[in-house]
Amino acid sequence: MAYSLDYAEAEIPPDRIPLFNAIMRAQIAFAWVAGPPAGFLLATYFGFDVSYGIAAILYVLVAAASLKLLPRLPKKNKPVNAAGEQLALPPLSTAIKQSLWLCAIAFSLMWGVNNAYLISLPIHLKDNLQIDAHWMGWVMGTTAALEVPFMLLAGYYASRFHLMSLIRCAGIAALLLYTGVYFASELWHLFALQIFNAIFIGVLAGLGVSVIQDLMPGRSGGASALYTNTTHIGNLLSSLMVGLVADYFGYHQVFLVNILLVCIAIWAFGRVKTARELAKVAP
């Protein structure tokens, strides 16, 4: 992400950077269209040795392609003073730091509930709804296919609407998704609910890093690291949450906890002030 942000800052007009970020993130969604169904099929019919062997081969191909295809980034022209000494970036204001903390909390919760959903749904399908777990691969593939247009639309409309307004829409979509999953009783219900999942992940993944980048201009490495770490924190929180909730109350109740955590994330997003809003109130 830091690489793509540096490239965008050097080569892309500022008002089109969110669209570029969304297009970059959409590549991951493209991979998820085929990845989960292929993974479930390979593991089911050929075993995990073949599945992981094919994954290893693909990693080698990606490494080779990266060396040949990725463009070299231009060196940054860092500001210097009259003596030729490099100037440090101005410190972040207290208001920006507060918004970054709220973003970190909200993004961590959103990625956490998403990971808890991915962990719990296959077992919920099998144990509670008596549906074969391999259908989870097709559900995930459906979501990924739907994510791509929403990612691109989010990037396109980012120049027309406030980024945080679109992110809050992602929170509402997540709330509708987990409420629907909690009450779903048929497989087709889950497929229908993936439209909300696609909006949730498509907007959050496509624009999330742009929100952090907007609050931390000139700090692409820090912005991408902070955003990426929210996914890792979310994964840790979700693993702990699923373990505790599923152990005491069952996997079905994980989705009820997801609803609560999404409400907290929406509240946090509502208190985030964007760089543009903070600039208007600055003395």
SS3 assignment for 151-211: HHHHHHHCCCCCHHHHHHHHHHHHHHHHHHHHHCCCHHHHHHHHHHHHHHHHHHHHHHHHH
Grade residue 236 by pLDDT with cuts at 50, 70 and 90: very high
Per-residue confidence band for 222, with pLDDT thresholds at 50, 70 and 90: confident
Give dist(CA 65, CA 43) in Å, integer.
26
Contacts of 142 (CB under 8 A, 6+ apart): 191, 194
Rounded Cα–Cα distance for residues 133 and 123 (Å)? 7
Q: Which of the given ranges, 51-55, 80-84, 154-158, 209-213, has the highest pLDDT on average?
A: 51-55
Query: Residue 97: what pLDDT?
Result: 85
pLDDT confidence of residue 172: 95
Q: What is the DSSP letter of 216?
A: S
Residue 160 confidence (pLDDT) above 90: no
More confident residue, 188 or 21: 188
Among candidates 170, 181, 239, which has minimal Cα distance to 208?
170
> What whole-number distance in Å separates Cα of residue 106 and Cα of residue 231?
11
pLDDT of res. 194: 92
Return the CATH fold of 8-34+94-281.
Growth Hormone; Chain: A; (1.20.1250)
Question: Token pair for residue 190?
Answer: 């889950």
Identify which of 144-153, 177-186, 268-277 has the greatest average pLDDT: 177-186
Band of the pLDDT at 145, cuts 50, 70, 90? confident
pTM of the full structure: 0.75
The mean pLDDT of 154-178, rounded to a whole number, is 86
**Whole-number Å distance between alpha carbons of 20 and 277:** 23
Tell me: the pLDDT tens digits for 85-136?
Answer: 555 566 777 888 888 999 999 999 999 999 999 999 988 888 888 887 678 7
Is residue 34 pLDDT above 90, yes or no?
Answer: no
Q: How far apart are CA 139 and CA 193, in angstroms?
A: 10
Instruction: Please report the pLDDT score of residue 23 as a whole number.
Output: 79
> What is the per-residue pLDDT for 76?
62
Does the structure show a pLDDT above 60 at 149?
yes
Please give the Cα distance from 214 to 185 (Å, whole number): 42
More confident residue, 252 or 142: 252
- Greater confidence (205 vs 267) lies with 267
Q: What average pLDDT does the chain have?
A: 84
Cβ contacts of 76 within 8 Å, gap of 6 or more: 6, 10
pLDDT at res. 237: 93
Say what the pLDDT of residue 26 is: 75
Q: How confident is the model at residue 82 (pLDDT cuts 50, 70, 90)?
A: low
3-state secondary structure 81-132: CCCCCECCCCCCCHHHHHHHHHHHHHHHHHHHHHHHHHHHHHHHHHHCCCCC
